[in-house]
Chains A and B, each alone.
Chain A
Amino acid sequence: MSDAVLKMTSVVKRFDHHEVLRDVSLTLHRHEVVCLIGASGSGKSTLLRCANLLETINGGDIELFGQSLLDPRIDPDLVRRHMGTVFQSFNLFPHLSVLDNVALGPVRALKRPLNDVREEAMALLARIGLQDRAGEFPDRLSGGQQQRVAIVRSLAMRPSLLLLDEVTSALDPTLVGEVLDLLSDLAKSGTTMLIATHEMNFAREVAHQVVFLDQGVLVEQGSPEEIFDHPQHDATRAFLGRVR
């Protein structure tokens, strides 16, 4: 298909002699939401970190808009500006106000004028209902609010796709909902997302494709109905049986 945003082909990643990703192939199309599921240590996070070049892969290829990211002329900083990344532990900058957290990337990486960026950042914060907290420091916010700010921070870069790494795993159960609601909104408005998650109901609701990873192997891939209702592999059935 021509509208492939991110395409991973036979990706292999080793840490020392331990293979964390074995021959994983995955394509993310424009406006598509793909959920990665699998036990802790199955390689979900590593896959995301390979995608935005925080890790270098040992085999296979990764393409962004048809351009191989293994090309030596590639500037990883430019690649990452097209991919918003949200972490399990938020990683907001504690020394910057909420507004400055959101504005840092556009101002310092994209060199856009501060006033434009601030205006846009305020609009983004208004979207998550936190415009009144713009001047506060992140540690004054709840975990759910912090994670929503982190999501908005990556949106401020106007990325082509979002990579989300178990963004609700560090949250209080009561705060998970607000973050997932935001992600559902983003999915509805056509944001391209690759989401590693443990929230099966959420994956069933928003994903166009669900990918099941087991010990670094892509075991099964398909629509939510196919994976959740009619899993073809024993490993998938065993995993779904455990998380239900």
Chain B
Amino acid sequence: MSSENDADAPDTPPFLFAPWRRQILRGRNGLIASVSSSVAIVMAVIAILFWTPGGTTFRFYFLNPHFMWLALRGDPAHAVNSVLGGIVTNIWIFLLCEVLVLVFALLIAWVRISVSPLLFPFRILATVYTDIFRGIPFILVIYMVGFGLPFLGLGFLSTQSPAVYACIALTLTYSAYVAEVYRAGLHSVPHGQILAARSLGLTQYATMRRVILPQGVRTVIPPLLNDFISLQKDTALASLLGVIETVRAAQIGTDSYFNASALTMSALLFLVMTIPMTRFTDHLIEKDREKRLAGAQ
């Protein structure tokens, strides 16, 4: 009490409690809080669907189980295609394009970071290519490919089905994006790795193939998957060329019944297709983060 060091000490014990708003979120209260906030949000969505002035119309027009079922299974009597049958088209377009993009984009990225004088014109070409196809809206690319290629009279290239043109357009556009993702990955490999490989007498090609590529691609797997999720969805744009995939089928159903529940069904099918992939991507990102945190210790 008499010491000078005690001069600043408060007479009463200091007030060290958190504000009550944060106190109620602790321990078991935290669980209650998260449950009740979730319930509140679900209630809000239900309230919008059921109590808004247009709620009934909306539910009838978009969430009608009868028409959703008809769309799912198809209705040959009314010439309505099944959206489930349609999504099969989306899936094969996606799978084909995925493989083509993975290979083609890697080739472009490889050419772009190569240093060989022999590849100089290809380097320029690859740069121009990525600039063009990242810069043009995909809807224009698909029209130009789908309606343009047949005009060219290029033998078999001009006599394909619309689905094939959609694949070509998707591959052209997505390769430009994915090539940049690859390139970022290849550039992220530390320079010491290249020095070590070249010092062992590995050629430029062997260095790329055995050292840079395996490391570079591994780091960009999550962003690559991200691009493939959007590729899955963009297969819907094949409908612009008249391909009867799920969205086109849903449009036909909508026009036939004057009811848009088929569109909702189609959206649900897309979710079934994309959600596993998004979850898997998140899982990989999380694993990668944990690995990097462990490495930082």
Q: Is the CB of A87 within 8 A of B195?
A: yes
Q: Is the CB of A94 within 8 A of B215?
A: yes
| Given A93-B211, A95-B218, A109-B206, A81 and B201 contact (CB-CB distance below 8 Å) | yes
Whether a CB of chain A sits under 8 angstroms from the CB of B192 is yes
Minimum CB distance partner of B209 in chain A: A108
Whether a CB of chain A sits under 8 angstroms from the CB of B193 is yes
Minimum CB distance partner of A80 in chain B: B201
Q: Is the CB of A85 within 8 A of B202?
A: no
| Given A93-B193, A94-B215, A80 and B206 contact (CB-CB distance below 8 Å) | no
| Given A91-B193, A95-B215, A95-B218, A85 and B199 contact (CB-CB distance below 8 Å) | yes
Q: Is the CB of A109 within 8 A of B199?
A: no
Q: Is the CB of B198 within 8 A of A54?
A: yes
Q: Is the CB of B200 within 8 A of A157?
A: yes
Whether a CB of chain A sits under 8 angstroms from the CB of B30 is no
Cα of A33 to Cα of B263 in the assembled complex, Å: 78
| Given A95-B215, A109-B206, A77 and B196 contact (CB-CB distance below 8 Å) | no
Whether a CB of chain B sits under 8 angstroms from the CB of A154 is yes
Q: Which of A87, A95, A110 contacts B196 (CB 8 A)?
A: A87
Whether a CB of chain B sits under 8 angstroms from the CB of A78 is yes
Q: Which of B193, B201, B211 contacts A78 (CB 8 A)?
A: B201
| Given A95-B215, A104-B210, A54 and B202 contact (CB-CB distance below 8 Å) | no
Whether a CB of chain B sits under 8 angstroms from the CB of A52 is yes
Cα of A105 to Cα of B202 in the assembled complex, Å: 7
CB contacts under 8 Å to B, within A86-143, are 87, 89, 91-95, 104-105, 108-110, 139
Q: Is the CB of B202 within 8 A of A91?
A: no
Q: Is the CB of B192 within 8 A of A91?
A: yes
Q: For A77, what are the chain B residues with a Cβ–Cβ distance below 8 Å?
A: 198, 201-203
Q: Is the CB of B195 within 8 A of A80?
A: no
Q: For B195, what are the chain A residues with a Cβ–Cβ distance below 8 Å?
A: 54, 85, 87, 91
Whether a CB of chain B sits under 8 angstroms from the CB of A153 is yes
Q: Is the CB of A93 within 8 A of B196?
A: yes
Q: Is the CB of B214 within 8 A of A109?
A: no
Q: For A54, what are the chain B residues with a Cβ–Cβ distance below 8 Å?
A: 195, 198-199
Q: Is the CB of A105 within 8 A of B200?
A: yes
Minimum CB distance partner of B291 in chain A: A139
Q: For B192, what are the chain A residues with a Cβ–Cβ distance below 8 Å?
A: 87, 89, 91
B106 to chain A, nearest CB (A): 17
Interface of B is mostly: helix
B5 to chain A, nearest CB (A): 42
Cα of A77 to Cα of B205 in the assembled complex, Å: 11
Q: Is the CB of B199 within 8 A of A80?
A: yes
Q: Is the CB of A104 within 8 A of B200?
A: yes
Q: For A78, what are the chain B residues with a Cβ–Cβ distance below 8 Å?
A: 201
Q: Is the CB of A80 within 8 A of B198?
A: yes
Q: Mark A59-94, 1 if CB is under 8 A from B, else 0.
A: 000000000000000001110110111010101111
Q: Mark B203-223, 1 if CB is under 8 A from A, else 0.
A: 100100011001100100000
Q: Which of A89, A94, A95, A105 contacts B201 (CB 8 A)?
A: A105
Q: Mark B54-75, 1 if CB is under 8 A from A, else 0.
A: 0000000000000000000000
Cα of A129 to Cα of B80 in the assembled complex, Å: 73
Cα of A150 to Cα of B215 in the assembled complex, Å: 18
Known: A94-B215, A95-B215, A104-B197. 13 other contacts (CB 8 A): A81-B201, A83-B199, A84-B199, A85-B196, A91-B190, A91-B192, A91-B193, A92-B196, A93-B211, A93-B215, A95-B218, A109-B201, A150-B196
> Residues on A close to B: CB < 8 A?
52, 54, 76-78, 80-81, 83-85, 87, 89, 91-95, 104-105, 108-110, 139, 150, 153-154, 157
Pull 27 A–B residue pairs with CB atoms less than 8 Å apart, ordered by A.
Answer: A54-B198, A78-B201, A81-B200, A83-B199, A85-B195, A85-B196, A85-B199, A87-B196, A91-B192, A91-B193, A93-B193, A93-B196, A93-B215, A94-B215, A95-B214, A104-B200, A104-B210, A105-B202, A108-B206, A109-B200, A109-B202, A109-B203, A109-B206, A153-B200, A154-B199, A154-B200, A157-B201
